[in-house]
Chains A and B, each alone.
Chain A
Amino acid sequence: MNVFTAMNRRISSLLMPLLALTLLAGIPLAPMGTADARVGARMAPFTLPAIPGGPTRGRMALADKLGEDVIVVLFWATWCIPCRQELPVYQELYQQYRDQGLTVVAISMDDSSSLPQAAGWARRMNLTFPVLSDLDTSVTNRINPRRTAPFSIWIDHEGRINREHEGFNQGERDDIQAGIAALIRARNAD
């Protein structure tokens, strides 16, 4: 084993207590965060380009809509069949609520070899909201590190994550409809 590996082990044995101490130090300073997985946390913004031939053009910066609209982020890929069932459901909701402050954004996890087909699928599903690509996987690694598909994130009008959900089933349509309607109502009530 080389020096580097031994060094790594020394670093890790120093780092962990240090990190834990940092976290411990942070506890008395502020109200406690929730134990839920990122629900309630602020959504980190990202900027990604639209897929070639997709429904929109140019780059989309989530920061433009954070704190204003109710946002839905959908991770999908051309090889994922349930994704192709989920996206049309949100397309309906988008058409219904876009004037009331709903933003929907789909991120394709396809790599450069299957990305060209994403536009074809977007057309067949008649999507009108932005469909973006993440070729260097940096955004996906942060927000959906296990690259599950489909994966949906709901963000409320204050920019906080309201729901994260893996998978899609037709039986969930009513829940999705009700949930989004509630978020829109909350936004427009303010």
Chain B
Amino acid sequence: MSKLKMLMVGALTLCLAWGCDDEETPPTPDAMPMTDASAGDAMSTPDAEPEGLLCGWSDDDFDWGVMIGRNMRPLTLSRCDGTEFSLPHAGMCNPTDVVDTENVRFSVLIMSAGWCAPCRRESEMLSEFLTDVYKAHGVEVIQVLTATEGPDLDQAYCDAWVSTYDLDRPNFAMLMDPGNTQTGRYFPAGSLPANLIVDNSGIIQFREYGAETRLTSVTNRLDELLCENYTERCGG
């Protein structure tokens, strides 16, 4: 009996002492805290002319990804009326206008769905607290509908969304991505609302998902980003 117990304890000591002394840890997602956005500074100086970054260049030239600091993969989605919209604008061979493309400093992607009640609540606040407030600072807001609560995701549904939440603004675009084919990579399934901020060359500056933040974290980060380059937003 005692021998067995000693054997057990001895084995435990040996095993765990040997097994646990290694400090090597695999990389964790999102190890970079929010304020490390400066990693992207080299490519996002506001004075740099966004000329042909993506048009004609190949996949290998860019650091694609979904994490902060990476290039977002270019996406092309339809608006309510079927016309195409692409992000990032800079360097796309056929850039589409929302605000004057050269003056778009940041694009905010708001990913939503009809079944997501917090998404609908945040949509009520979009125009007032996001779109209109940051219009003069070169911020465009793009909302992407990824699914409905049942009906087909078509033009009628999309138009109804825009009119219900009063979203028709010059610096706002409403897009549809049924089945999450191009936006699904940014959030775990079902973790909506999900929001993304990209700068004018496509570098991801902010990403969040899964929590109803009432747009406070998005506007907070926008203020920080705008402060880095434009002091008038920060009051000096």
Contacts and interface: CB of A to CB of B under 8 A. Distances in A.
Interface stretch (A11-19, A41-49, A113-121): A11-19
A178 interface: no
A20 B16 contact: yes
A1 B25 contact: yes
A1 B5 contact: no
Contacts of B25: 1, 6, 9
A28 to B, nearest CB: 9
Contacts of B42: none
22 contacts: A1-B25, A1-B28, A6-B23, A10-B23, A13-B16, A13-B17, A13-B21, A16-B12, A16-B17, A17-B13, A20-B9, A20-B10, A20-B12, A21-B13, A23-B9, A24-B9, A24-B10, A24-B13, A27-B5, A27-B6, A32-B5, A34-B1
B25 to A, nearest CB: 6
Q: Is the interface of B mostly helix, strand, loop or mixed?
A: helix
Contacts of B4: 35
B32 to A, nearest CB: 11
Nearest to A22: B9
Nearest to B31: A1
A133 B90 CA distance: 65
Contacts of A34: 1
B83 interface: no
Nearest to B5: A32
Contacts of B189: none
A1 B195 CA distance: 23
Interface residues of A, number: 17
Interface residues of B, number: 17
Given A24-B13, A27-B5, 4 more contacts: A23-B9, A24-B10, A27-B6, A33-B5
B2 A27 contact: yes
Interface in A88-119: none
A174 to B, nearest CB: 32
Interface string A169-184: 0000000000000000
Contacts of A32: 1-2, 5
* Most B C-beta atoms less than 10 A away, residue of A13, A27, A34: A13
B20 interface: yes
B28 to A, nearest CB: 5
Residue of A10, A17, A34, A35 contacting most chain B CB atoms (<10 Å): A17
Nearest to B28: A1
Contacts of B28: 1
Nearest to B20: A13
B20 to A, nearest CB: 4
B17 to A, nearest CB: 4
A24 B1 CA distance: 14
Contacts of B10: 20, 24
A9 B13 contact: no
Given A1-B28, A1-B31, A6-B25, A16 B20 contact: yes
